[in-house]
Chains A and B, each alone.
Chain A
Amino acid sequence: MSTLPQPGAAEPLRIVPTAPRRHTPHTANIALVGVEQSFTTRQGPRLLALDNINLDIAAGEFVCIVGPSGCGKTSLLSLIAGLSFPSRGEVQLNTRPITGPGTDRILIFQEHGLFPWLTVGQNVEFGMKMKGVPRPERRQRVKYYLQLVKLSQFENSYVHQLSGGMRQRVAIARALATDPAILLMDEPFAALDAQTRDMLHDELERIWLETRCTIVFVTHNIRESVRLGDRVVLMTYRPGRIKAEFKVDMPRPRQIEDNNVAQLSARILNEMRAEIDKSVQAEFSR
């Protein structure tokens, strides 16, 4: 601002806001050590949802957890989120046990869970407001993250005015805006049509590469897990145990139709089939 601009030379237009500075160090290692979780059901017997889960997730890793419905995938996420606690064992974050929810770990649900009384921008701002981030910085970060999910022109729209895919993108922006070290995603794209889902896979991959946060992604869609994950963790049906782990060594960006993706998916599906049969049997014999 000390020198005057050259006459006739247009001031360069800054359209892209710079990435906001990080508040939390992104070295969050998650460790589940001998985790067991059981619930008391209405009928009486205790339901063992998770049994002896041992899982290490490195900082910046993209881990997908697959399994048939009822395998305890969601319970696992809610444990990491600190919204519930294990009956036995320990869930650790950087070697310390998790004692409750925190904005370093944000959940994204299948139903987006956006606040219908707030605009898109206010939704994205919400977590920062709770954290006490000053207003100017909040505004700047809202701009940045809305641009990241390509929804800048919808900042002042209300949630009901958006399509399902757009809502999930807002939910992602809202989660990222709190600057979490870990993103916990619970079948976030399950309710969307295939085309939208493909697009959001691309976007999520791009966002992950850009922000380098850790993502734990729960899905029952094996293709999706191979498309996205560095590693795919397969869980068994009730009680949820880890059946197998698959490393996905394929270059990014990946394509869901890619041959290698399809082949690995087929292998995982093979392993999973027995579990699906069990879950289907349990559903029908009720």
Chain B
Amino acid sequence: MRLDKLAKNILFYAVILGVWYGIARSHIWPPYLVPAPGDVYTALHDGFKDGSIWIGIRISMQRVVLGYLASVVLGFFLGLGISTSTFLEDTLGRLLTSLQSLPSICWLPLAILWFGLTDKAIYFVIIMGSLFSITMSMESSRAAIPRIIPMAGRNLGAKGLKLFWYVLLPASLPHLISGLKQGWAFAWRALISAEMIIISLGLGQLLMTGRDLNDMSQVVAILLIILVLGWAIDALVFRTIERKVARRWGLSVPA
């Protein structure tokens, strides 16, 4: 079954590659619009060889991880506040829900005016891009806990911080993880958007450099890197945790 799936996918990507190659070879469009797969490969190869892609990956990852962690910590406390106070829930909670619908790139002009074309501005955009969704998921995952769980916890002598740490937090984990995963996706998007505007050595900037130099092979090469990285973190980190939790709780395992 698994092999079958693998074979299907190999075939699928082989066909895409073939079609791409055919279109590039037909010269309907010039190579600076449609590069051949070989050109993209060369761009990747050169990028890794001269280190520019490695640097881009390192810097981008560092930013997104730090910004994301800051969001998680901030979101944790905001979520805690919102879920424990009806006043905050009705006011701040509503505000955050509406802010959540704002595309993260909208924060960029504000960030640039406040912080200039600096790393700080990039971090600001990452945090703004992911914080609200993380906060709201912290709050909603608390609300999804069956009433009997905290009741049983209190009955067995857990209260205050102990109740939170040993009962409420683990009880909200299945929901929390999907929220954290979504927050990660938002952070990743915000990062690349911000890096495209602010010259700062990250992957987003490499993408824009390709554009500035009319180098479509580099653009496609960096796109592939961004795609693979985003997918890898999702699959290796978040889906692994999700699967672990699901197995433990006896929930249906997400594919």
Identity of the chain B residue whose Cβ is nearest the Cβ of A103 in the assembled complex: B157
B236 at the interface (CB under 8 A from A): no
Query: Would you call A75 an interface residue if the criterion is a C-beta within 8 Å of the partner chain's C-beta atoms?
Result: no
Asked if B170 CB lies within 8 Å of chain A CBs, one says: yes
Q: Does B171 contact A (CB under 8 A)?
A: yes
How many residues from B make CB contacts under 8 Å with A?
21
At the interface, yes or no: A31 with Cβ under 8 Å from chain B?
no
User: Per-residue CB proximity of B119-163 to A under 8 Å, as 1/0?
Assistant: 000000000000000000000000000101101111111100010
Chain A residue at minimum C-beta to C-beta distance from B245:
A117
B57 interface contact, C-beta 8 A? no
Interface presence of B167 (CB below 8 A): yes
Judge if A20 is at the interface, Cβ distance under 8 Å. no
CB–CB B250/A116 < 8 A = yes
Q: How far is the CA of A178 from the CA of B157 in the complex (A)?
A: 9
Give the distance in Å from the alpha carbon of A118 to the alpha carbon of B173 in the complex: 12
Determine whether A127 belongs to the interface, using a CB cutoff of 8 Å to chain B.
yes
Q: Is A145 in the interface zone, CB < 8 Å from B?
A: no
Chain A residues with Cβ below 8 Å from B5 are none
Which residues of chain B have C-beta atoms less than 8 A from A111's C-beta? Answer: 146, 148
Asked if residues A158 and B250 are in contact (CB atoms below 8 Å), the reply is yes
Interface string of B161-197 (1 = CB under 8 A from A): 0100011001101000000000000000000000000
Q: Mark A120-134, 1 if CB is under 8 A from B, else 0.
A: 000000110111000
Q: Can you add 9 more A-B contacts, CB < 8 Å, to A158-B248, A178-B156?
A: A101-B154, A101-B157, A103-B157, A109-B151, A113-B151, A114-B152, A115-B152, A118-B170, A130-B166
Interface residues, chain A, with chain B CB atoms under 8 Å away: 81, 83, 101-103, 106-107, 109, 111, 113-118, 126-127, 129-131, 158-161, 174, 178
B residues with a Cβ closer than 8 A to A are 146, 148-149, 151-158, 162, 166-167, 170-171, 173, 245, 248-250
